[in-house]
Amino acid sequence: MVEGEVRAVAGDRILVVGGGRGIGAGIAAAFPGRAVVWTRATGVDATDPTSLARAFATFQVQHGAPCALVHTVGDFAERPLLGTDAATFRAQFASNVDSVFHTIQAVVPAMVAAGRPGRVVLFAAAGADKDRGMLRAPVYFAAKAAVVQLARSLALELAPHGITVNVVAPGLIDHPHSHGQSQARMLPRVPLGRLGTVADAVGTVAWLLSEAAGYVTGQVLTVDGGLQG
């Protein structure tokens, strides 16, 4: 449905890293025949550069360079800073930040070498780009703030190559694997009065992948119904 509404940027495959469920699966479903999904279940660990390099070597033989890279991996842990042990801290940064860094390093050089317009879309979380603390999940939001900053810098680096880099920052997106209790608690703070749907996030990504968004780069698009705090 989405492809009929906004034509995705010309080229071939859209690589969706983390597209096995939730928002990523919705993105993959919006581009039938063009999306390639990487998850641990498909044998790719985005926190492991060796795993990514192996997967991308196979991908390149089959498809060449992708026209778009969408990265949706990012575990959520809700606990106060002083209640966070070192292993959880490292796991949050591995899932949210290391995986972005290693995926970019594995995939983007081939997109640059392909010499055609492209798209990179990363995922943060609503509020991660603001200069305020996040009592609910400080380590997760610190990791997502790092994603935002990596994206802004990568946008500058890739602009001369016609590749845009943007961030989608969801608020409370409801799907079978999302954190229901936490979302229910936060719902009164959503002025639009409902949780977001996967389709809400997918629509934003589809637009970023479209030719219509070709002059938008280095931005954070917040999809949160106006979430306060």
| Residues forming the site for ligand NAP (CB under 6 A) | 18, 20-24, 38-41, 44-47, 72-74, 76, 95, 99, 123, 125, 170, 172-173, 177-178
> Which letter does DSSP use for residue 215 in this model?
T
Considering 121, 140, 168, 221, which one is annotated as catalytic?
Answer: 140
Q: Which is nearer to ligand NAP, 95 or 164 (CB)?
A: 95
Q: Which is nearer to ligand NAP, 214 or 229 (CB)?
A: 229
Whole-angstrom distance, CA of residue 18 vs CA of residue 15: 9
Nearest alpha-carbon partner for 144 in 130, 125, 168: 125
Least CB distance from residue 123 to ligand NAP, whole Å?
4
Q: Which is nearer to ligand NAP, 21 or 34 (CB)?
A: 21
> Which letter does DSSP use for residue 9 in this model?
P
Instruction: Confirm whether 140 is a catalytic residue.
Output: yes
Least CB distance from residue 162 to ligand NAP, whole Å?
26
Q: Are 128 and 147 in contact (CB under 8 A)?
A: yes
Where b means 16+ CB within 10 Å and e means fewer, 89-100 reads bebbbbbbbbbb
Least CB distance from residue 163 to ligand NAP, whole Å?
20
Q: Which is nearer to ligand NAP, 8 or 28 (CB)?
A: 28
Tokens matching residue 99:
């995986």
> Helix 198-209 to helix 22-30 angle, to the nearest 10 degrees?
50
Q: Which residues are catalytic?
A: 140
